[in-house]
Amino acid sequence: MSFAPVMNEAEVEAFLEKEFPQIHLHGRAFTVTKIAPGEAVMRLDASEAHLRPGGTVSGPTLFSLADLAAYAAILAHIGPVALAVTTNLSINFLRMPTPGTLLGTCRILKLGKRLAVTEIAIAPPDDDALVAHATATYSIPPDRT
CATH code where residue 94 lies: 3.10.129.10
Query: Phi and psi (nearest 5°) for 76?
Result: -60, -25
**Domain assignment of residue 144, yes or no:** no
What CA–CA distance (Å, rounded) separates 112 from 115? 5
**Dihedral of CA 57/94/69/125: which sign?**
positive
Say if CB 42 and CB 69 are below 8 A apart. Answer: yes
Structural domain boundaries, residue 102: 9-139
**Domain assignment of residue 74, yes or no:** yes
pLDDT of residue 98: 84
**Domain assignment of residue 4, yes or no:** no
**Domain assignment of residue 47, yes or no:** yes
- Give the closest residue to 65 by CA, choosing from 38, 95, 104: 104
**Domain assignment of residue 83, yes or no:** yes
Q: In this prediction, what percent of the chain has a pLDDT beyond 90?
A: 77
Residue 145 has pLDDT above 70, yes or no: no
pLDDT of residue 25: 81
Residue 137 has pLDDT above 90, yes or no: yes
Q: What is the pLDDT of residues 24-78, one digit of tens each?
A: 887 789 999 999 999 999 999 998 888 888 889 999 999 999 999 999 999 999 9
**Domain assignment of residue 135, yes or no:** yes
Residue 144 has pLDDT above 80, yes or no: no
Q: What's the total number of domains in the chain?
A: 1
Q: What is the pLDDT of residues 86-119, one digit of tens each?
A: 999 999 999 999 888 999 999 999 999 999 999 9
